[in-house]
Copies of this chain bind each other. A is one copy, B any other.
Amino acid sequence: MPDPHRQYEIRCPVHGFITLNDWEWEIISQPAFQRLRRIRQLGWTDQVYPGAMHTRFEHSLGVMHVATRLYEGIVSRSQGLLQSELAYNEDGLRRDKTVVRLAALLHDVGHAPFSHASEELFPSHAEGGKYKHEDYSAAIVRQKLRDVIETHREGDNYGIKVEDITALLEGRPEAGRRLFWRQLITGQMDADRMDYLLRDSLHLGVDYGRFDWRRLMHTMEAIPGTEGESLRLGVNEGGWHAAEALLLARYFMFTQVYFHKTRVAFDFHLRQALGEMLPAGFFPKPEGSELNAYLGWDDWKVLGLLAEGKGGEHGERLANRNHYREVHHTPEVPKPPDLKELERVREKLGSMVVAEENAEKSWYKIGQEDIPVRGQRKRPKVKTLSKYSSFVARMKPIRKVMLYARPEHAEAARKKLEGSRRQNR
């Protein structure tokens, strides 16, 4: 009989050791979670950065670890507020830590093969919109992990139900006061970002994504909402530069890694190839028996199909590294003349352009989501990060457009553009 108090340690290249209790160990042992071992964190990025082979499995454990540390730090600094505003006592905080850990652990459990690259292939739901990977995560928690979550002695202890976790994942009102903690799962300073920036940096061998996460761990706080609004997650004044650095780490990782021209090309081919492979061109729905079919799709399966020659032209391109080549791109933040030039280039190249991809990302959301910063005086004034930092709010969103040609036409396309530029002078 397994020891219900046993602790398990898993070695993590970012955080040293990650500790799980027996309940959490049982959860990650389920096939639906083990599947994350077969989904790489960064899809085909290894084609550009050969070290990028790590998986969602490793990352999910890391997010749980980071969320726990942040949770503990916030509790130690904001116990009074959590008590007065959200009526938490020690037991409640202990219980909800458990829920937050599971939500962090499971937030990615619904990912499609090759992570974000293939999310366009999610089917539409009844109301017309497309399913998101969070919908799959919640469905898997409900249908595949209910038993292990609701019957283990550890969960039983606190009466934790599957819907406690999905409510947190989906941000439903039933989550109640726990919605405060949802910002640790999805928000501008969430554990997900913190972990992937650090982890991707390590395996790829870049420094871009490193930031002072320990400083955030020691400065994140609950901040009272203004005028009767609810508590928000923020930092005290000692942490605002660390929050700023987190945003910048994301900026650098996106511009240098995630939006790399070759990586974007591979993502394009992958979507096309998957479209060919998938029964109706879309992934199965996160419902009923279709969910089982969905779970069958992972990187292994797709790689196996590619190795068999499946996936049509684009499958072949993936398998042979015969990918499209970028022949033109706008600046990251294009101005009207850049868009005009893009127009000209599109015309000039005509059918030579076989793919047009957009890299779009915002760095910081102001307005409602601007991170609150608590001043260090006795009667602290709360201002937002965009007031503290002279440039965070001025970092313009990226709207880069990239045009691709077939490899055999790339040279010709580039020459054509050179020629036309000469004439334009």
Contact = CB atoms under 8 A, between A and B. Distances in A.
Contact of A13 (B10, B76, B205, B395): B205
Given A11-B205, A12-B51, A394-B394, A31 B320 contact: yes
A350 interface: no
Contacts of A57: 50
Given A55-B46, A300-B307, A391-B396, A208 B212 contact: yes
Nearest to A398: B390
B241 A17 contact: no
Interface residues of A, number: 73
Interface of A: 7, 9-14, 16-17, 29, 31, 34, 37-38, 40, 46-47, 49-51, 53-55, 57-58, 61, 76, 202-208, 210-212, 214, 218, 241, 245, 248, 252, 255-256, 296, 298, 300-301, 303-308, 320-321, 331-333, 377-379, 388, 390-391, 394-396, 414, 418, 421-422
A319 B99 CA distance: 29
Contact of A304 (B51, B58, B210, B305): B305
Nearest to A297: B307
A252 B242 CA distance: 9
B31 A53 contact: no
Contact of A11 (B55, B204, B320): B204
Contact of A418 (B40, B58, B378): B378
